[in-house]
Chain A
């Protein structure tokens, strides 16, 4: 039997109730479907004393998806996202990503907020207390060094593995962040701060991977209308279900005549953040030719990490992320 971690669960039914609970329990952690958090608690990785259950909050459970735009509340279940006719019709990349997460049981419980805030993963972190205690823990918990990169100088490379974030990022999504004093809106890409710069210039890494301040939480994620955009998601996995992405790639592009007019590519399962590749604009404006693919390769090579945080070697993940990206671009461009 595993160590029992005691926690108290508060179940507010309104946004006001959440804010109240947060004020009363500043150290509380939010609970979505619990498909990530409850497992981590059992492993003794995190030990929050209070959980605030977000799934009963009426304001966070709405989903609106039509040609005009997409807005999904943080407590909407993944299964609902995957099956929603409006999402499937207008934002296929989002539906495909949602449908690829874990297995049906997880998608029935797991929420959009939980998936966007999914804890980063590492073979030295997602282990039992027993295991970590024999391996001197590591930076992400209570240890001194990073076992993946012992010379990392305080930087953690644990990998972000959520499938939804890259999909939404290719659509230039924004997140609504709620806090006691009100609300702020951030481009989704800026929610993720895990740049993990060895030189210490970046603010975040695998340990501090979200731009949320204490007391803040995700209320909704939003995409404005994307007429003419073609999008898709694909992930490499070793088996067909219940598996995190070995690498996942989302692509959104627009084709005008024979010209690639717009291109966004985002990758998950490689870095401490989902990476929206920078520099894809420069690849647009012409035909989809070797130059585009070569350029895409370079972007992947420069921006995608190859740290050994999973059982699959990093260089393989980077390499095949490139293959998936090329394939998706080609398929979507062809229509």
Chain B
């Protein structure tokens, strides 16, 4: 906070922070987290919830880890504290930072400061802790990216100095396939990385949105003048009328249905109706009731059944039946074929809203630079943000610049704009920097979620277990606005029959408007929901046909040369069979283990499940190009201009590894410029697991293009070795060596002497009315096994072990791939067992539960590298595939353990217990 409110109770507090004695005047009611971040400007300590739920604010107080957001500043009087900025001075501080880097224990890095402080606490208490001790003692800090296991490894590594895994620097031309340490990793370990709320200019005003507490209501605004008089610190109120351009945004060009500020009507709880700009203290003093807003609540349509019911009112004028879009894939004659099938399985499945729960809430600032707008915020899609902001402001796109800050997790939730348009409107009018950070409740109430699904599906097979038909009808609750609804409705029918050869298919999906929170993109775009259905039905068929569940999948797995339900012939890189082969020995061993366990266990039953998936990389049947650029300047600076934002998944590192090998210089030679829309080309969104495949290919082409120029310049052959020594570029070809003095080459205005640009757009074709075509250039494949224990008395489920096999084409950086798989499994486990967002209810991180350290199973990863000829060095994608098989595997394991199929996720203890009781399987002990 830059302006301190002069409140009567303001009083100085004295304490020691990172060895320095400090006296700070705090406002009454301020908490330690605010004093440290705003009062002292030490932004390494993060705030994820302000409620004791996430641990991002963990600091050491007299040596013990505490949440700074729950400590009243006064309670710090006389205490000695350490925050991330002081960690390096602690005995094992540097060792911990190095180990976190080595083990890739920080992905997005937003939890990392808190994690490191908790780790320092653990190591100061236990000289040689075991795994369990570390997991218990760090259980107060949440991480949404890593799945925790690499964090535990890093801490144990420091404790035991034995578990060393080595990252490598990699020699020129050999970066691909190496565990290159995350190139943007270091600042995340020291607290220096600047996230959305960390770097706003000192003179920035604050912005606070006022949101509807009602899911559906008409509203009118009264006279705002008296309100402004009562709140002198508030500079201006912004409403729909202040939007200079179009008061609308949305993902699809023809579906800009979401307003920046509601105009007389709100369609979901949490929709913004206006925003206030002013000092932080003034905004904090505002209650919604202070504003002259008259609400007229209207009945709301909640859930797809209500929205599709006969006579339901239309939520949007253009969609009388509330159906936003329909997607279909049809081939063969499913009905006729099913009639002759040996076995039929069918079922209805239901999933819930799922919250991304990235630990960093939306945050950033905007500033007007002449007639241009500049926005610094966390995002997954800078170019899209630019275009949206330009439309809202009525500016040409070139007049908007997006500079992505470090992004504390996204998972799809930061693909849509959130605070950017509002910030832009305010900064435009005020001609002064304006900043905003969502509070956790606001973030959860207003931003997109995973679509809840209601799926009816039917599958059939012949006597030998070969799949004959698959039919699915899925309704996806897209909430009040379109967002990514059409993507989900389009993607689901393509994938819904699973990664199998199915000759007769009819899959239909609808995205349905309701008055619930808008649903958008979340790791998998509806495919995880559909996978729950197809894997449950395959288990059914296996049981009916008397065939082992893994063998049934093996028999049906798509292989290179097979035709998919959209009529696409898979040319290469369909590695499901290899995944299943890799899992088979573990499957058999774990089956015996479960049988042995169940022979004596009474209330605990052990079960094993398997889940398979496929996932098209990139956008569905749409062009989605990426362009990458490499330049050499006359001073010898080699710059990688990379428009793909790294939200923790590691694209900055992976793309540089690719570019390095294509060019023939080491990773360490590169200067990296990431994401800034003014200086990088459009790399497309960081979504659909596409950055490694699409932008990676573009990076490879850019590297090759620059290399070709260099070789041509020196008349060197393709095998030449490059070296960069200051401005001297040395090209060695056989025995000959040519030295290019870059300073002597003709340069463009910006000093650039050589350049290589690469563009790649995966070859696809649009789908026709029956969903036939080539929706994706390549697919990732995976299979996972889950071993679980179900408590028949309590209905609780403990996942013991996951064995995951993923065909990633080529693991450009195996450490990062493993990290994606661990994190995906954690989210899949959450989806299966605990995560249920209820609009208007679970809008915080203690009612909305995500997995903690102690919930993680042991994970074994098998990387299958069935090279994709189109991909960079054979690579495909991993981001989303990591999550998809987990929930089906866990649900299959519950069924194997108990004989009960759970049809509504999450499988919370009370749901499992009810299902067990209904089947007469619940026990009293």
Contact = CB atoms under 8 A, between A and B. Distances in A.
Contacts of B672: none
The CB with the most chain B CB atoms within 10 A, among A1, A39, A102, is that of A1
A46 interface: no
B66 interface: yes
A183 to B, nearest CB: 26
A9 B50 contact: no
A65 to B, nearest CB: 20
B924 A242 contact: no
Given A38-B72, A242-B139, A316-B909, A6 B9 contact: yes
A332 B289 CA distance: 55
Contact of B71 (A7, A109, A313): A109
A39 B441 CA distance: 13
Contacts of B853: 240-241
Interface string B873-898: 00000000000000000000000000
A247 to B, nearest CB: 9
Contacts of B850: 239
B67 A51 contact: no
B382 to A, nearest CB: 25
A106 B140 contact: yes
A3 B280 CA distance: 10
Contact of A35 (B52, B74, B289, B437): B52
Contact of B139 (A103, A108, A236, A316): A103
Contact of A313 (B136, B284, B910): B910
A53 interface: yes
Interface string A108-145: 11000000000000010011111101110000000000
Given A105-B141, A327-B925, A130 B9 contact: no
B894 to A, nearest CB: 15
A206 interface: no
B208 A312 contact: no
A38 B846 contact: no
B153 interface: no
Count chain A CB atoms within 10 A of each CB in B28, B77, B289 and give the residue with the most: B28
A323 interface: yes
B231 to A, nearest CB: 13
A283 interface: no
A109 B793 CA distance: 34
B278 to A, nearest CB: 11
A128 B909 contact: no
Contacts of B269: 134
Nearest to B68: A105
Contacts of B70: 33-35, 38-39, 106, 109
A262 interface: no
Given A38-B31, A130-B441, A131-B213, A4 B118 contact: no
Given A7-B29, A38-B70, A105-B118, A326 B284 contact: no
A242 B53 contact: yes
Given A104-B121, A236-B796, A312 B72 contact: no
Contacts of B71: 34, 38, 109
B118 A104 contact: yes
Interface stretch (B102-110, B455-463, B836-844): B836-844
B65 A104 contact: yes
A53 B66 CA distance: 17
Interface string B48-75: 0011110100100100111100111011
Contacts of A9: 28, 72, 74-75
Given A242-B139, A312-B910, A3 B286 contact: yes
Contact of B75 (A55, A311, A313): A55
B324 interface: no
Contacts of B439: 1-2
A319 B72 contact: no
A246 B796 CA distance: 11
B729 to A, nearest CB: 52
A240 B52 contact: no
B28 A8 contact: yes
A11 interface: yes
A223 interface: no
B281 interface: yes
Interface string A313-328: 1001001101110110
Task: Output the residue of A102, A105, A130, A243 with the most chain B CB within 10 A.
Answer: A105
A320 B795 contact: yes
A140 to B, nearest CB: 17
B138 interface: yes
B433 interface: no
B27 A6 contact: yes
A238 interface: yes
B342 interface: no
Contact of A106 (B67, B847, B854): B67
Contacts of B287: 3, 44, 129, 133
Interface residues of A, number: 63
B236 to A, nearest CB: 17
B924 A53 contact: no
Interface string A24-50: 000000010111001101111000000
Interface string B431-454: 000000101010000000000000
A228 B66 CA distance: 37
Contacts of A129: 287-288
Given A2-B439, A130-B441, A105 B909 contact: no
A103 B136 CA distance: 8
Interface size class of B (residues with CB under 8 A): 35 or more
A42 B280 CA distance: 15
A79 interface: yes
A11 B838 CA distance: 40
Given A1-B439, A130-B288, A11 B77 contact: yes
B846 A242 contact: yes
A42 B140 contact: no
Contact of A104 (B29, B136, B206, B285): B136
Interface string B794-806: 1110000000000
Nearest to B269: A134
A91 to B, nearest CB: 20
Contacts of A322: 924
B854 A241 contact: yes
A240 B909 contact: no
B852 interface: yes
Contacts of A282: none
A165 to B, nearest CB: 20
A123 B847 contact: yes
Contacts of A320: 793-795, 909, 913
Interface string B140-155: 1110000000000000
B29 A239 contact: no
B711 interface: no
Interface string B492-514: 00000000000000000000000
Nearest to A80: B64
Interface string A277-307: 0000000000000000100000000000000
B632 to A, nearest CB: 46
A47 B75 CA distance: 18
Contacts of B118: 104-105
B64 A131 contact: no
A7 B28 contact: yes
A270 to B, nearest CB: 13
B285 A3 contact: yes
8 contacts: A34-B71, A35-B70, A44-B287, A51-B72, A102-B140, A108-B64, A128-B843, A241-B136
Interface of A: 1-9, 11, 31, 33-35, 38-39, 41-44, 51, 53, 55, 79, 102-106, 108-109, 123, 126-131, 133-135, 236, 238-244, 246, 293, 311-313, 316, 319-320, 322-324, 326-327, 330
Give the top 7 A-B pairs by smallest Cβ distance, nearest first: A240-B854, A103-B140, A134-B213, A241-B139, A4-B284, A9-B74, A105-B140
Given A108-B66, A126-B847, 9 more contacts: A102-B140, A104-B65, A134-B213, A239-B850, A243-B849, A293-B924, A311-B838, A316-B914, A319-B913
